[in-house]
Amino acid sequence: MATTKLLSDAEAEQIPAVKAVFDDIRATRKSDFVNNFWRGLANDPAALKRVWEQLKAVMVADSAIDPLTKEMIYIAVSTANGCSYCIHSHTAAARAKGMTDAQHGELVSIIGLAGQTNHLVTAMQIPVDPQFEVK
């Protein structure tokens, strides 16, 4: 159960600032589906707009990293942060962008291995090698 209300389409229609963002989400994604994250965020229309604009700029716009790789990076962060909702939504997004079962299996393995070496390094408090310095 959420700690805030999730706005229905009927409720979103009543608030022009929310309706505008929901319309843009639907147009951008070419889909009628607006997922719960935006329905929760819609309680604060200014926050809804801020986060959506940012998501469009970082995840939707053309850029130097391809769309599927972006989703895999998102899954990686969300896993390390333990955000169940985010793992589900971005795994679905990655699959929609073509992630194969083999790629998902490898992604999971990389995340697991990084989790392991992160813990090993931290437990041993390994000092950074000077060779890694950015000039």
For position 57 contacting a second copy by CB under 8 A, the verdict is: yes
What stretches of 2-124 show up as alpha helix (H) in DSSP? Answer: 9-13, 16-29, 36-41, 45-55, 67-80, 84-96, 101-124
Q: Closest distance between a second copy and the C-beta of residue 135, in Å?
A: 9
For position 50 contacting a second copy by CB under 8 A, the verdict is: yes
Q: Which of 10, 27, 30, 101 binds a second copy (CB under 8 A)?
A: 101
For position 5 contacting a second copy by CB under 8 A, the verdict is: yes
Q: Side-chain half-sphere of 126: how many Cα atoms within 13 Å?
A: 9
Q: Closest distance between a second copy and the C-beta of residue 13, in Å?
A: 19
Query: Which range in 7-15, 20-28, 71-79 contacts a second copy by CB under 8 A?
Result: 71-79
d(CA 38, CA 40): 5
For position 60 contacting a second copy by CB under 8 A, the verdict is: no
d(CA 75, CA 80): 9
For position 59 contacting a second copy by CB under 8 A, the verdict is: yes
d(CA 103, CA 63): 21
For position 96 contacting a second copy by CB under 8 A, the verdict is: no
